[in-house]
Amino acid sequence: MGEIRLEIPARPEYLSLARQVVATAAAIEPSMRDERIDDLRVAVSEATTNAIEAHAVLDGADRIVIRCNLGDDRIEVEVVDRGGGFDPDALAGPPDAGAPDRLEWERGLGIPLMRELTDETEIHTSEGGTAVRLVVYASSGRAAGDAPDDPTI
């Protein structure tokens, strides 16, 4: 399958479209389970949100490019922005769940979530922009029977 390329204005209203296009592309692969597509939708949402926020300091004319490539048993998504870049290793993660200040941590979950939800997350960033590469394999991740626990417990 060839590459699917989506170019969107750097505005939050387009997040839903980005997720839907990527989910639709992923669903072409018959072995890609809905749970993995859900994971990918959120990972794409995180990468695109970061890109939109990186563009906020620009004049708004530049667009964000999202490329999808479906391979054997996997989908690869790249989100490319022209924002100012950042140092992903310098970002502090949220405190542990039991920490008293955990509830005050309303931001900073995006990159840890991307890493958790995908099989591969690579971030290439410079002053000229950032490219985030997300890969999800149909055959990995949560097992089919690995349903979330009852949240009431």
Partner 1 sequence: MWTKLWTTAGDNRARERAKLGVAGVRGRSPRVEEPVVEVHLNRREGCTVVGIVGELDLAGVPVVRPALLDALREDGGDVVIDLTGLDLIDSAGLGVVLGAVRRAREAGRPAKVVVRAPQVVRMFQVTGLDRVLDLRGDVEEAVGG
Q: What are 56's two structure tokens?
A: 């906020």
Q: Coil, strand, or helix at residue 39? A: helix
Q: Which of residues 63-92 bind partner 1 (CB under 8 A)?
A: none
Which amino acid is it at 27?
A
Q: Does 27 bind partner 1 (CB under 8 A)?
A: yes
Q: Which of 84, 94, 119, 141 lies at the binding interface for partner 1 (CB under 8 A)?
A: 94
> Which among 14-22, 61-69, 83-91, 126-134 is the span making contact with partner 1, rule CB under 8 A?
14-22
Q: Which of 2, 30, 145, 151 lies at the binding interface for partner 1 (CB under 8 A)?
A: 151
Q: Which of residues 106-145 bind partner 1 (CB under 8 A)?
A: 106-107, 109-110, 112-113, 116-117
Task: Find the shortest distance in angstroms from Cβ 50 to partner 1.
Answer: 10
Task: Find the shortest distance in angstroms from Cβ 125 to partner 1.
Answer: 18
Q: What are phi and psi of 26, to 5 degrees?
A: -65, -35
Report the b/e string of 1-39 with b at 16+ CB within 10 A: eeebebebebeeebbeebbebbbebbeebeebbeebbeb
